[in-house]
Every structure is written in C-alpha cells, then in structure tokens.
Structure 1
Amino acid sequence: MTLKIVVSVKYVPDAAGDRTFADDFTVDRDEADGLLSELDEYAVEQALRIAEAVEDAEVTVVTVGPEDARAALGKALSMGADNAIHVEDDDLHGTDAIGTSLVLAKAIEKTGFDLVVCGMASTDGAMGVLPAMLAERLDVPQVTLLSEVSVHDGAVIGRRDGDAASERLQAALPAIVSVTDQSGEARYPSFKGIMAAKKKPVETLDLDDLGLEGDELGLAGSYTVVEAAAERPARTAGVIVKDEGEGGKQLAEFLAGQKFI
C-alpha cells in the first residue's frame, strides 16, 4: 500500500528584502519578492527521505496563497515531490493561522494522507502553531519539533532535542509531525529535477471545492488582526566611548541608561 505523505509549505516574503504593510495592515506581497519558507524546505527534505526509505510512497505538497505561491510548490516539486495542491481564492486574503489551518485540513482530507509533515514555523509569522491546529482539526496525533524522524511498521518515530535532554517519541499513523532546522540539510534541486517539476501535476482548488464559505475566512473571519503598524525608526549613529581612564564607568552608565544592566 502506498504511504501518502503530505507536506504543508508556505510562500513567504524574502527576509532579506524590505517588507511593508498594505493599507489593511496585511503584508504587501506585491512589493516583496517571495520564496518557499526556508523552514519548510526541511519538511520537504524529511518527507523525501521517508519516501526513499520505504517501498512505495507518494509525496504531495500543499500550500494556501495567491497565484505567486505556485513558486513555493515549484521549488518543492523540483526537490523531488511527486505532485502539488494549490488552494487559491480571493476570499482568503488576510486569513490568520486559525483560518489557514481549516483550509489546509480540508485540502489534506480531500487528497488523503498517512503522514503530514510541517516545518517548525514559518519564517514570516514565526508562530509555530499550525501543526497542532492541523492535528486537532484532522483528529490525529501530533509529534512536533523533531530533529530526527522515520516511519516503521505503521508508526512515525522521532527524536525531540531539548536543552538538557532528548526524547524518543512515537505515534501511530495517520499522524502529523513538525521538524526543526536540525533535522537535516535540505537538498538543492538538480537541473533534472527542475525540468521534471514542470511536468508534475499541480491541482488548483478554491473554497467551493473545499466546501468552505468566504465569510468564515479572510480578514473578516480572522480571530487575530493587526490594528496598527509603524515604520521602524531610522538607524542613528552609535555612542562612542573614549577611554581616558573612565571608559568602563561610562560604558556601565550607558548600559544602565538603556536598562541592559
């Protein structure tokens, strides 16, 4: 029987570029270059490693986002994923993590799954709550923040590293896992992989396909909303302390004035 692995990925603004808010305080994605979230690359990598280790497996990547989000799917397909699902609908604009988890859960239910793999967080919102929300909506166990993961005999097995100890965790399939940036370096797409990705199927779904209504999503349906935003102050010249015998004292006074000590 084919092991069905689904990877949830996100198209995010490039952290190296300038990011601004639109008039409704959502991220102005038209003004920023986007890419596959780096932390989701680790999820794709682990899904591919699991698929390579079993006899028969299929890796599907799924994302929710505007038309440009297909670029994130393209990167995952060029890494080696078999197919992709893109949920795109104008009514999704401004949807928060809670709403996104609902949409993803419906899409994952529609395609079917044995294992869902997520990154530990997105590089834009950095909330890290989506895997738990998906597990709740899909009514399956979750094993999160893994630095090592594998599938054996109908169960997912992993290692979670803490500051003082490591845990060995296990859950029966179907299940959801999230992996950290310590789980293994993501592979670079080869030229062959990039060319092959252009022929792999990408299914596009909208809210009607998922049986969802627009008024329960988007800005109007979000539980969290940004009410105000301000530009970061321009960088000012630093304070130079000349040591003429009392440099240490001046430095301590400066740090105390900034409440660093």
Structure 2
Amino acid sequence: MTVEPVSVAGVVSRLRAAGCVFAEDEAELILGTADGPAQVASMVERRASGLPLEHVLGWAEFHGLRVAVDPGVFVPRRRTEFLVHQALAAAASRPLVVVDLCCGSGALGAALAAALPGAELHAADIEPAAVRCARRNVAPFGGRVYEGDLFAALPAGLRGRIDILTANVPYVPSDEVGLLPAEAREHEPLVALDGGSDGLDIMRRVALAAPDWLAPGGVLLTETSERQVPGALAAVSAGGLRARLVTSDELYANVVTGVRE
C-alpha cells in the first residue's frame, strides 16, 4: 500500500476539524515526533479521536525535560511546574532525600532530581501503569519507584529522613469528575483524579502521616484548587506541620506547603 506524502496543511486541517484549538502547534509536534508518513497519519487520527496529545506523542515537556507518558498514565500539567519551583526554593544546598508520592509519570521527581545533583530520589504510585512509566523517567537520575498506597509503598528506612516530599494528589471532588474534559476523564486513571467527596481525602491522609516521614525541617508540597485552599491549609496544619500557601496567577497554580519544625 502506498502512503500519501504528508501535507502540513492537511494535518492542521484535520486537527482543527477535530476541535484542536492549537492545531498548528500540535501538527508541528506530531510531525517532529513521527517516523514517516504512516505514523503521522496514525497519530493524527488518534489525536482527532480525542486521545490526549501527550499520549499520542508518547511524551510531555515538563520543566525542561521530555518526560515519557504512556497511555493510561496521568499527564503532567504545566501548572505543576510551579510546585517544582517551590520545592527547589525550599531545598537546602546539601544532598537531599526527595520523595514523590502519587508520582504518575514521575515527572515531578525527575525534574527535581535533574535540578538537585546528588539527591536521593524515591517515588511511589498505586497505579501499575504509572509505576512502569515513572521507572523509565527517573532511571537516568538513579531514582527508585515503588508500587503501593502512599507511604505504605515506601521503604521503612525513609521514615524521618525525607527533606522534600511532593504529593500531587488527586483533588477533584468525586461528583465533579464527570465535568472534566473528555481527555482527562476518558483517558487518565480515575485514581489519579478523584479526591473524594470534597477533593481533599488523599491530601488529609498524606498530611497526617507526613510528620513521621519528614526529616526535621523537611517540607511537604502539594497542589490544590483555589476554593480548596482553606481546607488544604487546615489539613496540613492538623498534621502538625507549619502550613503556608504560595500561588501563581500566571499558571493558575496553588501550592500548599507544610514544614516539620
């Protein structure tokens, strides 16, 4: 079978017809990633069918890294780069122990390890597909990834040693998951989206257990929505940590931090 030559205009037109707002940018990424016209056609059709662009490409750009993102794995959001910035601002100059809970693709941990030479990196997720993907992304930095439920997945030897603890927990209220864009609700795991009745169930669990795992002066960093800020701050304070909110209007990001005194 003969494959027709790729037309940039044709790719843009097909993507635009499918409702892709940034059709020109997406076409450029697809054409730059695909290995030949046949793969271009396949990728365009998968994108047009509603698959997230990152799943089509097999990667996402995050904090200067190209992070592998497999089908069925939560796609790292650009706003979460603000959480990375806050973690780096809290990092000491000495070698650190960094743990990324609810790690998904491992993008957070990889970004931190890339910026913190010598850091000891660990990550965990309850979703097997995420664990497999994260292992590929953190391997270049010597990171280790564990499968399991929050802290239960971690080696006991990390208790009381963690300097930087990121936890980009699911925080969408259960009855609002159905309101998410189709790309998220149909192609990302529910466990990575659903945060319980008010969206803060997982955050509360993390905040309550974190003091036992953080080193003195260690910092918990987690993302939340604007309307959940009061509840998130209360959850972190209830765990015995000194809670603080940092926001970015540009990225529409809200990061709650908790320091173990």
Whether TM exceeds 0.5 here: the answer is: no
Larger radius of gyration: 1
Higher helix share: 2
Ranked by relative contact order (alpha carbons within 8 Å, sequence separation 6 or more), the top structure is 1
Structure-1-length-normalised TM-score: 0.33
